[in-house]
């Protein structure tokens, strides 16, 4: 344990020291240039390490992935669109896409709705109560999805005999009901919905913080004007407050949407895609590390990239509109 702590400390110290030394060296090199040229070059020198890292860790692997998606399982021979054809014609992968689509439809919308409701109600509490409530709701954000999945496995845990260590089944048996294998309930995607509950639990705090800040920024004059005009509390909220914070709502929605599109940790820890809970992230992992099919795995990543690009484009345009306003 002490050795691991030492390694962690050394990693942090060396990493930060190397970054400081790099920027110090770049600054010294730029200072050797003439005054006007120095002013022009210095911003690019500071962002150069970021661009280099982006190229080696994102752009190059992305290009290589696209190339490998047109090759066979060993990435040696060209097979054209065979990997995409195999995936899109596979019943199992079609079901995986349906499961992923359910996550995309349900989780972002519920996260925004619940986060908006919690933010609104928490803002009505006294300052100490508001701080305590928001702290408790935001705490799951500090837990990784792997850790959260491990915790929630004990909530849904099922035993065919003996004591039930799962919280839901312990309650069910105390009330005289039979225990239920919750994560095996594939009918109507019940088990997938139960996994979504865990992500909602982890993401609502994030939505609450941003939306609460946006609500507090709504001018009081507009709310008072609505009250004078005879608007009810609900009318004021949905017709005055919500339109003014729509930019934040869209930002939260898109951020959660992107998280959901590449969801992996929760499903892998909880079910590993069993019982019809598979999503694109776990399918990619299984193709790459279980079946060692690099071509199919790359094709899955390319499909995911194609799906994410329109969302990213919309997000960038949305940010530009917000900045213009």
pLDDT at 34: 83
Rg value, the chain, Cα = 25
Q: Inform me whether the pLDDT recorded for 317 exceeds 90.
A: no
Q: How confident is the model at residue 196 (pLDDT cuts 50, 70, 90)?
A: very high
Tracing tokens 């009918």 back to the chain, one arrives at 187
Does one domain contain both 53 and 96? no
Does one domain contain both 45 and 105? no
Contact, 211 vs 245, CB < 8 A? yes
Does one domain contain both 52 and 101? no
pLDDT at 126: 87
Report the alpha-carbon distance of residue 51 to residue 131 in Å, rounded: 40
pLDDT at 139: 92
Report the predicted TM-score, pTM, of the whole model to 2 decimal places.
0.86
Query: What pLDDT, in 10s, does the model give residues 281-309?
Result: 999 999 999 999 999 999 999 999 999 88
Any idea what DSSP says for residue 141?
G
Helix (H, G, I), strand (E, B) or coil at 229: coil
C-alpha to C-alpha distances, 212 to 108, 197, 242, 251, 253, nearest whole angstrom: 17, 22, 12, 14, 15
Residue 21 corresponds to which tokens in the numbers above?
């030394």
Q: What percent of the chain has pLDDT over 90?
A: 55
pLDDT at 109: 95
Report the alpha-carbon distance of residue 303 to residue 169 in Å, rounded: 39
pLDDT at 176: 85
Tracing tokens 């795995």 back to the chain, one arrives at 297
Residue 158 lies in a domain: no
Q: Which helix (H) or strand (E) holds 169?
A: helix 167-174
pLDDT at 127: 87
Residue 106 lies in a domain: yes
Report the alpha-carbon distance of residue 103 to residue 260 in Å, rounded: 6
Phi-psi region for residue 232, left (φ > 0), alpha (ψ -120 to 50) or beta? beta
Query: What pLDDT, in 10s, does the model give residues 14-50?
Result: 989 998 999 899 888 888 888 788 888 888 888 988 8
Contact, 128 vs 141, CB < 8 A? no
- Domains: count for the chain: 2
Q: What angle do CA 228, 234, 239 make, to 5 degrees?
A: 75
Q: What percent of the chain has pLDDT over 70?
A: 100
Report the alpha-carbon distance of residue 325 to residue 314 in Å, rounded: 16
Q: Mean pLDDT over residues 136-164, rounded?
A: 88
Does one domain contain both 129 and 251? yes
Domain end (from 68, 93, 125): 68
pLDDT at 186: 87
Q: How confident is the model at residue 252 (pLDDT cuts 50, 70, 90)?
A: very high
pLDDT at 72: 93
Does one domain contain both 41 and 127? no
pLDDT at 136: 92
Does one domain contain both 62 and 108? no
Which domain covers residue 23, as residue numbers? 2-68
Does one domain contain both 40 and 99? no
CA 143 to chain centre: 13
pLDDT at 124: 87
Domain end (from 68, 99, 114): 68
Closest to 45 (Cα-Cα) out of 35, 55, 31, 58: 31
Closest to 271 (Cα-Cα) out of 185, 202, 144: 185
Does one domain contain both 212 and 316? yes
Per the prediction, the chain carries an average pLDDT of: 90
Query: What pLDDT, in 10s, does the model give residues 204-227?
Result: 999 999 999 999 999 999 989 988
Residue 154 lies in a domain: no
Domain end (from 68, 99, 125): 68
pLDDT at 256: 94
Residue 114 lies in a domain: yes
């Amino acid at each position: 344990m002490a050795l691991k702590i030492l390694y962690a400390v050394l990693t942090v110290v060396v990493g930060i020291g190397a970054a400081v030394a790099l920027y110090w060296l770049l600054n010294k090199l730029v200072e050797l240039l003439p005054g006007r040229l120095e002013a022009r070059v210095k911003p690019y020198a500071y962002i150069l390490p970021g661009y280099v890292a982006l190229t080696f860790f994102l752009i190059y692997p992305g290009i290589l992935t696209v190339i490998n998606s047109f090759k066979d399982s060993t990435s040696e021979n060209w097979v054209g669109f065979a990997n995409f054809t195999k995936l899109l014609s596979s019943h199992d992968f079609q079901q995986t896409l349906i499961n992923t689509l359910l996550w995309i439809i349900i989780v972002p919308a519920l996260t925004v709705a619940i986060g908006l409701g919690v933010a609104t109600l928490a803002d009505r509490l006294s300052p100490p109560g508001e701080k305590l409530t928001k702290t408790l709701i935001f705490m799951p954000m500090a837990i990784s999805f792997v850790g959260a999945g491990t915790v929630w496995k004990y909530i849904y845990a099922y035993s065919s005999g003996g004591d039930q260590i799962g919280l839901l089944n312990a309650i069910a048996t105390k009330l005289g009901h039979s225990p239920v294998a919750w994560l095996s309930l594939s009918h109507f995607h019940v088990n997938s919905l139960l996994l979504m509950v865990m992500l909602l639990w982890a993401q609502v705090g994030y939505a609450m913080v941003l939306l609460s800040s946006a609500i507090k920024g709504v001018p009081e004059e507009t709310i008072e004007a609505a009250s004078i005009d005879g608007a009810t509390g609900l009318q004021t909220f949905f017709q005055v407050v919500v339109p003014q914070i729509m930019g934040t709502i869209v930002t939260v929605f898109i951020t959660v949407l992107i998280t959901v599109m590449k969801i992996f940790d929760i499903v892998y820890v909880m079910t590993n895609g069993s019982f019809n809970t598979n999503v694109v992230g776990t399918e990619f992992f299984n193709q790459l590390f279980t079946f060692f099919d690099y071509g199919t795995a790359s094709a899955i990543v390319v499909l995911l990239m194609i799906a994410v690009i329109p969302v990213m484009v919309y997000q960038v345009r949305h940010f530009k509109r917000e900045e213009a306003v």
